[in-house]
Structure 1
Amino acid sequence: MPKTSKIPAQKALPGRKAQAARNDGLILDAARAVFLADPNAPIAAVAERAGVGISALYRRYPSKEDLLRTLCHQGLRRYNAEAEAALEDSDGWHGLVGFLERVVDADVHSLTVHLAGTFTPDESMLPDVMRSGQLAEELVRRAHASGRLRPDVNTLDVGLILEAGTAISMPDPQRTAQLRRRVLALLIAGLTVEGELPGPPPEAGEFAWRWQRPQ
């Protein structure tokens, strides 16, 4: 069984800082909803959905690009946290499966699919980008070592599985979650069967083009 990490209790923030933290959470939640629905939406739509003044939003995020970058960085950190939790599982196969389930439930890869190319990543994201690759490599290595994961699956194949779930979107969020889990279960079953997969596996850097903003 994976270990459960204990998060230390945080001290209560003073009034203004507490309000700023609440506003930031509202802004990021609103930005996720707005920009996943329409990456070209104006930043004013985020302020309206969050119920904060546009000036309060601009104090925290001077531009739409800053907001998009923060939103995607937040998703990347969630990905890394779930991967680190999965590596605490002594069973490499169960660790990988649990990781896939939690990341699909968190809908992390919708950010990648919908927002790649809408902003320019900066150096602040690089350590977490590098870390995500290392964690994914270790998850796949351990799953291979368990004897359950088919040998011709690589780390980028796992990324494709996660992205596949983002194609499922229903008017009812609960139904969306159910169908995404159903498809994930079918894909996970395919990770263990014998026989050759069509075409070569994805290569390192093959998907980097989408993070380049169009000129």
Structure 2
Amino acid sequence: MPKQTETADQPRLPGRKAQAARNDGLILDAARAVFLADPGAPIAAVAERAGVGISALYRRYPGKEDLLRTLCHDGLRRYNAEADAALENSDGWQGLVEFLERVVDADVHSLTVHLAGTFTPDDAMLPDVLRAGDAAEELVRRAHATGRLRPDFGALDLGLVLEACAAVTMATPERTAQMRRRVLALLIDGMTVDAELPGPPPAGGEFAWRWERRS
């Protein structure tokens, strides 16, 4: 996530608030690394990796579910921000391709692959969930209008493409990023082929089951 810079419209935070903001950034970065490696890891492992006291972590996040929910909500917001940027492109096909590339580079869908079902989403996420669905529909509609996207590719197929890329893991982060881009390029080529896809397309709500809390 890009580092924010202070401007005249964004004054420097007072000492305690600035420290709290720094701690929160450290906690979220550490939580992403810890829980992507092991969704069952204890919350204490996050505090240790972040280099903050467990009491500081609990002041911000009362429990592990709160931290997991925040991580995934942040990923959803990043997805929506990339979709908004892609919709600014007047070329519907290029906008869709750039959207997929940026979301894969941001590794948003690793959160879905690893953390779905480990916490209960709350109603605060719903507006962003609906916004993501609308944006995906519009991106696909515009790409179809160019004639380059295969006619049987739907908005829900975007999730399949992104999760397929997120499932690729190599020995180093650099190699992982390279291989994910390679897989994405292969999948994008397949998105332009005018041939019938096997099986019925994903249905509305078909992916919702994964977010049900697993005991």
Give the TM bin, normalised by the shorter chain: over 0.9
> Deviations along 1:3-62, whole A, 9 cap, x unmatched?
xxxx99422111111111010000000000000011000000000000000000000000
**Which position in structure 2 is the counterpart of 1:114?**
114
Query: Contact 2:109–2:162 (CA<8 Å) still a contact in 1?
Result: yes
Query: Contact 2:148–2:192 (CA<8 Å) still a contact in 1?
Result: yes
SS at the partner of 1:155?
A: coil
Whether 2:150 is the aligned partner of 1:150: answer yes
TM-score scaled by length of structure 1? 0.95
Work out the CA distance in 2 between the residues paired with 1:60 and 1:99.
32
Query: Structure 1 stretches (4+) deviating beyond 4 angstroms?
Result: none
Work out the CA distance in 2 between the residues paired with 1:167 and 1:119.
20
Work out the CA distance in 1 between the residues paired with 2:126 and 2:12.
31
SS at the partner of 2:13?
A: coil
The alignment's C-alpha RMSD in Å is 1.2
Whether 2:185 is the aligned partner of 1:185: answer yes
Aligned residues: 209
**Which position in structure 2 is the counterpart of 1:20?**
20
Q: Percent identity?
A: 80
Q: 1:15-164, aligned counterparts within 5 Å? A: 15-164=15-164
5+ long unaligned stretches in structure 1: 1-6
Work out the CA distance in 2 between the residues paired with 1:102 and 1:76.
13
Whether 2:180 is the aligned partner of 1:176: answer no
| Deviation (angstroms), 1:194 | 1.3
TM-score scaled by length of structure 2? 0.95
> Deviations along 1:56-85, whole A, 9 cap, x unmatched?
000000000000000000000000000000
| Deviation (angstroms), 1:171 | 1.9
Work out the CA distance in 2 between the residues paired with 1:182 and 1:106.
15
> Deviations along 1:112-140, whole A, 9 cap, x unmatched?
11101110000110100010000000000
Work out the CA distance in 2 between the residues paired with 1:8 and 1:122.
32
Work out the CA distance in 2 between the residues paired with 1:145 and 1:12.
47
